């Protein structure tokens, strides 16, 4: 069985990359161009890339004249409906610089966990990648029902990565890596490598918490990483600013070693 190592990221066949809301909306909306530069570089060397993009609600908030994330479900759905359109427009406008077309894929939990929806989702993503389209995936927040939601786009990313047998899942946020405790606290140490059998006892991943516009945090990334690595997909957690370096296999972020690699799978 072949397990992807960090320095092989540049030759990975298939990568799922997830970016959080706070990294590409509001004051950081201009980071989309930088992220697209990194994606286009990987796409140009033949890598199949699926982008999991949070941010629909956050992107829609200004158009609904909201300063804070709405608390009621109906307004969240309205903001997501407007914001998803805004996000895709911004991504496609940036991708046009490289002649890359994006495809929108909005999912609910049943689409990746329940047959026949699961097989249909895999087929659709596989075909988009075959056609050299960049799928941009998000939870369908406009119609998703509470109790049947992914909980976070970190979990969505992990489930999509396992569904399409990705070599690598890269989760981007505002922090350059995972730390033994929130990085602003004294004694916090960066975690560079986490083996497949590391129980991660004694760490305070939950203390970081989500941003004001997103739903993820350090703890959701650890849970998502475990889902992916158990299925044979390596995971890298780092910051959006380091997306290009991550896709090139440079020593950035926190690397989660994959536990297995499916029989008969060839990396190259």
CA 123 – CA 120 distance, rounded (Å) = 5
Q: What average pLDDT score do residues 125-153 get?
A: 85
Q: What average pLDDT score do residues 136-165 get?
A: 84
Secondary element (H or E) of residue 49: strand 48-53
- What's the confidence (pLDDT) of residue 212? 39
Binding-site positions: 18, 54, 141, 153, 173-174
Q: What is the mean pLDDT of the chain?
A: 88
What SS3 state is found at 126? helix
- What's the confidence (pLDDT) of residue 52? 97
Q: 31-44 and 73-95 helices cross at what angle (nearest 10)?
A: 60
Query: Does residue 213 register a pLDDT over 50?
Result: no
Query: Does residue 202 register a pLDDT over 90?
Result: no
Binding-site positions for substrate: 54, 141, 153
The mean-pLDDT minimum among 12-21, 100-109, 202-211, 227-236 falls in 202-211
The mean-pLDDT minimum among 93-102, 220-229, 230-239, 259-268 falls in 259-268
One DSSP character per residue, 82-111 reads: HHHHHHHHHHHHHHGGGT--EEEEEE-THH
Nearest CA to 11 among 20, 19, 2? 2
Binding-site positions for ATP: 18, 173-174
Q: Does domain 6-256 have CATH number 3.40.1160.10?
A: yes
Domain boundaries, the chain: 6-256
Q: What is the pTM of this model?
A: 0.90
- What's the confidence (pLDDT) of residue 184? 84
- What's the confidence (pLDDT) of residue 214? 41
């Amino acid at each position: 069985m072949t397990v992807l190592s960090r320095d092989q990221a540049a030759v990975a066949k298939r990568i799922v990359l997830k970016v959080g809301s706070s990294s590409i909306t509001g004051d950081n909306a201009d980071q989309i161009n930088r992220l697209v530069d990194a994606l286009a570089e990987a796409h140009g060397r033949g890598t199949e890339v699926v982008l999991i993009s949070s941010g629909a609600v956050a992107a829609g908030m200004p158009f609904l004249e909201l300063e804070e994330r709405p608390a009621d479900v109906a307004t969240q759905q309205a903001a997501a409906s407007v914001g998803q359109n805004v996000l895709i427009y911004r991504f496609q406008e940036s991708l046009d610089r490289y002649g890359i077309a994006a495809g929108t894929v909005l999912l609910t939990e049943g689409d990746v966990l329940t047959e026949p929806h699961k097989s249909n989702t895999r087929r659709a993503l596989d075909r988009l990648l075959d056609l050299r389209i960049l799928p941009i995936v998000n939870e369908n927040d406009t119609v998703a029902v509470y109790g049947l939601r992914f909980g976070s786009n970190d979990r969505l990313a992990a489930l999509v990565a396992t569904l399409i047998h990705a070599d690598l899942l890269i989760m981007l946020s505002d922090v350059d890596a995972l730390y033994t405790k929130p990085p602003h606290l004294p004694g916090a140490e960066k975690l560079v490598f986490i083996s497949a059998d590391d129980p991660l006892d004694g760490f305070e991943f939950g203390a970081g918490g989500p941003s004001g516009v997103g739903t993820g945090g350090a703890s959701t990334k650890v849970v998502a990483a475990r889902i992916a690595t158990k299925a044979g997909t390596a995971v890298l957690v780092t910051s959006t600013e380091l997306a290009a370096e991550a896709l090139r296999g440079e020593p950035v972020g926190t690397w989660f070693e994959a536990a297995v690699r499916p029989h008969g799978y060839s990396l190259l």
